[in-house]
Structure 1
Amino acid sequence: MCQLLAMNCNTPTDICFSFDGFAQRGGLTDEHSDGWGISFFEESACRSFHDTLPAIESPIAQLVKNYPIKSLNVIAHIRQANIGAVELKNTQPYLRELWGQQWVYAHNGDLWGYKFSGGVPTQPIGDSDSEMAFCDLLNRFRELSPTHEPELKSIYDCLKSFCEEAAKFGTFNLVLSNGKYIFAHCTTHLCYIIRQAPFSEAHLSDKDLSINFSAVTTKKDRVAIIATEPLTDNEEWTQFEKGQLLVFKDGKVLDLE
């Protein structure tokens, strides 16, 4: 299956270190070689990159590794194609507009037999199960409020219900953002780490590369990283419970239950 990566923080931060390790899984340390993508929220807009080449071979991925784009919310995806051809239209993350906001989504897993409900106005462009579910989700959100963003708890409850329904078709690990929050749901594998003062050194699992975060941060910084599997081998990552939905803001988990 695919690999997910997301970042949520309280001050604009680059994801170069984490993405460098993550990209190794796109054809080098793992078999996910059917394209990749990444989206950075910058105020109300998104800067996005997609490629059908394996991340380890992609010149665009090399650019992202070396270009310190700073963002409060980032979502990335490495694809192993099972449903839908290896084409740009099937490459995640997917982006759509809702309530005058950009929404970015990436999914890990297979939803066998899932069919788009045919709702409007959000409709799929490609033919992947992941995009069909995303379009159905946004149309479900729109039913909550056609014109403006409802309160966070309403969005959370709607998303939780949708995840439970989608998971009946298979595996529905996802990360989702509107630039304010990162929503993350786990069916099988998902984990996170929150880095804050006192910062220490981290070493990538997929590449012999380390960084001393205390040298590049302030005492006020707080960064949450969400990934399918831990990206570092010398830090303690927290595993999601199966069926768990978490919401991250300013680098910490919100209590919405």
Structure 2
Amino acid sequence: MCQLLGMNANTPTDVMFSFAGLACRADEHKDGFGIGFFEERGLRHFIDHHGARSSPVAELVKHYPIKSLNVVAHIRKATQGRVALENTHPFVRELWGRYWVFAHNGDLKGFVPRLHGAFRPVGDTDSERAFCWLMQELDKAHADLPTIDELTCTLAELLPLPARHGTFNLLLSNGQALWAHGSTKLHSLERRHPFGAATLADEDLTVDFAARTQPGDRVAIVATEPLTAGEPWSAFAPGELRVFVDGECRLRRCG
């Protein structure tokens, strides 16, 4: 199973503690990794079809001072599509003058939608094909960039269609919000004042967030499996869609 990591915050936040927890799971997921994070309207996007344990790109990311409101990261275990750079998540497209970043965990069987617009896959994964279809349908549903609530309603209508074809755990962001859909396995956590210490579940690494935050800071983390021990992670219900804005869950929709 691929591993997903998303972050949404109300102030530019360092995601490297959570990324370190994700990278610990790279031994079983050697088919590539990637991360996309927004800096205002801009996007920094790093991918490599080599495993995160050995990738020089991963080393670059670990030493980059990431401060972002929205982050999407992925460690791949290939099910469809060969191990290649063009098949490495997260995928990026432009719509309504904004970048969109998408990562998927799962396997869609027989989902071959007709793609007739500007959104076509470069690689040969079910994930990128589903992303292109999703962008196409959003473009058809709205003439211009809708509100976050309007986008959430449209996504709640669209996501069950590919989900009928298999496992469809995903993260999606346009820099304004983070949408997360859980088909089988996804968890989220919200950190806010009073902040405490957190310890990674897979590695002996602890961070005291009280020393790094302000009282008004809020951060939401989404991951396939809980990344830390002793924190109140919340499991998604099958078919549940959550949207995170300013570091907290604004809305939940169950399919």
TM-score by length of 2: 0.96
Query: Cα RMSD over matched residues?
Result: 1.1
CA deviations 1:195-250 (Å, max 9, x no partner) are 11111110001111000000111111110000000000121211111110010000
1:170 maps to which residue? 166
CA deviations 1:95-154 (Å, max 9, x no partner) are 0000000000000000011214122111111000000000000000001124x2123333
CA deviations 1:34-64 (Å, max 9, x no partner) are 0000001011110011011111111221222
CA pair 33-256 structure 1, distance change in 2 beyond 3 A:
closer
1:80 maps to which residue? 77
1:159 maps to which residue? 155
Q: How far apart are the structure 2 equivalents of 1:256 and 1:192?
A: 12
Q: How far apart are the structure 2 equivalents of 1:113 and 1:156?
A: 26
Q: How far apart are the structure 1 equivalents of 2:227 and 2:10?
A: 21
CA deviations 1:151-179 (Å, max 9, x no partner) are 33332122112211111110000000000
- For the pair 1:240 / 2:215, whether they are aligned, the reply is no
Task: Indicate which of 218, 223, 226 corresponds to 1:230.
Answer: 226
> Given that residues 193 and 217 in structure 2 are in contact (C-alpha distance below 8 angstroms), is that contact kept between their aligned partners in structure 1?
yes
Question: Per the alignment, in what secondary structure is the counterpart of residue 202 of structure 1?
Answer: strand
Counterpart code for 2:10: N
> Given that residues 241 and 252 in structure 2 are in contact (C-alpha distance below 8 angstroms), is that contact kept between their aligned partners in structure 1?
no
Q: How far apart are the structure 2 equivalents of 1:167 and 1:82?
A: 16
State the aligned residue count: 253
Q: Percent identity?
A: 51
Q: How far apart are the structure 1 equivalents of 2:142 and 2:242?
A: 22
Alignment of 1:139-150 (within 5 A): 139-146=136-143, 148-150=144-146
Q: Which stretch shows the higher mean deviation, 109-118 or 58-67?
A: 58-67
Question: Per the alignment, in what secondary structure is the counterpart of residue 224 of structure 1?
Answer: strand
Q: How far apart are the structure 1 equivalents of 2:25 and 2:31?
A: 11
Q: Give the structure with the higher percent strand.
A: 2
TM-score by length of 1: 0.96
Deviation for aligned residue 1:256: 6.4
Counterpart code for 2:83: V
> Given that residues 17 and 65 in structure 1 are in contact (C-alpha distance below 8 angstroms), is that contact kept between their aligned partners in structure 2?
no
Q: Which stretch shows the higher mean deviation, 97-106 or 114-123?
A: 114-123
> Given that residues 173 and 188 in structure 1 are in contact (C-alpha distance below 8 angstroms), is that contact kept between their aligned partners in structure 2?
yes
Q: How far apart are the structure 2 equivalents of 1:151 and 1:10?
A: 18
Question: Per the alignment, in what secondary structure is the counterpart of residue 104 of structure 1?
Answer: strand
Gaps of 5+ in 1: none
Q: How far apart are the structure 2 equivalents of 1:94 and 1:255?
A: 24
Q: Which stretches of structure 1, 4 residues or longer, exceed 6 Å deviation after superposition? A: none
1:21 maps to which residue? 21
- For the pair 1:188 / 2:184, whether they are aligned, the reply is yes
